[in-house]
Amino acid sequence: MEIQPISFDIPGIMACQQNRYPMLFIDRVTECVPLKYAKGFKLFTYNEWYFHGYETASPKVWNVVQIEAMSQMFLMTFLSEEKFRGLVAMSNRFDKVQFFRKIIPGERLDLEATLESFGRGVARGKVKGEVNGVLTCSMECTIVIPEFFADFKQSLANNTASKVVSNITAGNVINFGIENVKECLLNKYPWLLLDGATEIQPGKFVKAIKNFTYNEHYFPAHFPGSPSVPGFIQIECCMQSFLLTFLSLDQYKRRETADRLLNNVHLRRKIVPGDTLEMHASLDSFSRGIARGRVESYVNGEQAISLEVTAVVVDELEKFRPKLKG
């Protein structure tokens, strides 16, 4: 017998997953077959809190917000199943995360998530997003339900229990505080997610820190009974530390950037209020406005999130685009 798709409005979505304002990034699930697929959309308005956290004349939807919107639509592929509704799910890994165009206020991101496998509390699949029928973002993801994957936290601890020595060589140990960071990045509250750098060698590497206190605006919503740092916030912390590797160069300070590709994004442990995330960002190459590198991060010496990244300096890249002949 053919299964009839179901739909969810905001109350229905909140009955399935625990994300709440200001961390809920899907507005409607228009079509869903539990344990198979989910389709829906997210509308963007200038009143969104993150539009005001980056100093530019052209506001855009942050790429990590797109990641979170895709993740939440993917959650609906399995949390829409009656027996799983309302359970906590945790991001574990993202691959081939790509961004193809800028999203601006007034646009609608149509999302389609496909569940490729689901067993022992581990869900794997793909998500893509389109604006006006044009592919805008896509990724592969792995998300777990810890309640059904009882060994999740323990397995992570076993894999990362020993202290990890950074492969970044010692550089300039300095007092590079929040005012110095603001001289380099366009980010501002509530979207500036670095507290400073303990080591920095512009054009090569940065060792940055972010302290997490319960006063952060997202903890009450993520989640009321067990506060933790959302995965997309962890990714953004690492992205900002990576940007600092080249935006700390005098000629690139406060230049506008855009993420293009994220790979091998691993979220290895839960980060909670009272933790300090230490990020080690390396710039592997930087040419014609294209920066490639990686970030490894630690909490109390244990591996936390890590990723590989390609980002661009927007106006620098434009200089090298082929010019169309009139």
Instruction: Give the CATH number for residue 12.
Output: 3.10.129.10
Confirm whether 210 is domain-assigned: yes
Give yes or no: residues 175 and 305 share one domain. Answer: yes
Which of 150, 175, 205 finishes a domain? 150
CB 59 within 8 A of CB 227: no
Confirm whether 156 is domain-assigned: no
pTM as predicted = 0.91
The active-site residue, picked from 217, 222, 266, 280, is: 222
CA distance 175 to 179: 11
> Which pLDDT does position 151 carry in this prediction?
54
Confirm whether 127 is domain-assigned: yes
> Which pLDDT does position 238 carry in this prediction?
98
CA distance 92 to 77: 16
CB 110 within 8 A of CB 138: no
Confirm whether 277 is domain-assigned: yes
Residues 52, 53, 55, 59, CA torsion sign: negative
CB neighbours (10 Å) of residue 209?
Answer: 16
Q: Which of 85, 89, 91, 76 is nearest to 29 (CA)?
A: 76
Cα pseudo-dihedral 75, 80, 83, 89, rounded to 10: 10
Give yes or no: residues 170 and 146 share one domain. Answer: no
Give yes or no: residues 316 and 181 share one domain. Answer: yes
Confirm whether 72 is domain-assigned: yes
Give yes or no: residues 142 and 197 share one domain. Answer: no
Confirm whether 192 is domain-assigned: yes
Domain coverage including residue 247: 164-326
Confirm whether 155 is domain-assigned: no
**Number of H helices and number of E strands within the chain?**
6, 14
Give yes or no: residues 145 and 176 share one domain. Answer: no
CB 235 within 8 A of CB 305: yes
Give yes or no: residues 97 and 171 share one domain. Answer: no
Q: SS3 for 318? A: helix
> Which pLDDT does position 155 carry in this prediction?
46
Confirm whether 157 is domain-assigned: no
CA distance 158 to 139: 28
Give yes or no: residues 321 and 179 share one domain. Answer: yes
Exposed/middle/buried for 5, CB within 10 Å: 0-12, 13-18, 19+? middle
CA distance 261 to 286: 15
Give yes or no: residues 310 and 171 share one domain. Answer: yes
Q: Which regions in the chain score pLDDT beneath 70?
A: 1, 150-173, 322-326
- Going from the C-alpha of 273 to that of each of 68, 228, 260, 299, 302, the distances in angstroms are 20, 7, 30, 12, 16
CB neighbours (10 Å) of residue 318?
Answer: 10
CB 291 within 8 A of CB 313: yes
3-state DSSP helix/strand/coil % of the chain, to nearest 5: 25, 40, 40
Half-sphere exposure of 191 (CA within 13 A, CB side): 21
Whether 217 sits among the annotated catalytic residues: the reply is: no
CA distance 262 to 277: 20
> Which pLDDT does position 316 carry in this prediction?
87
Give yes or no: residues 177 and 313 share one domain. Answer: yes
Number of domains making up the chain? 2
Dump pLDDT digits (tens) for 150-162: 654 544 444 444 4
Whether omega for the bond prior to residue 219 falls within 30 degrees of 0, making it cis, is no
Give yes or no: residues 237 and 322 share one domain. Answer: yes
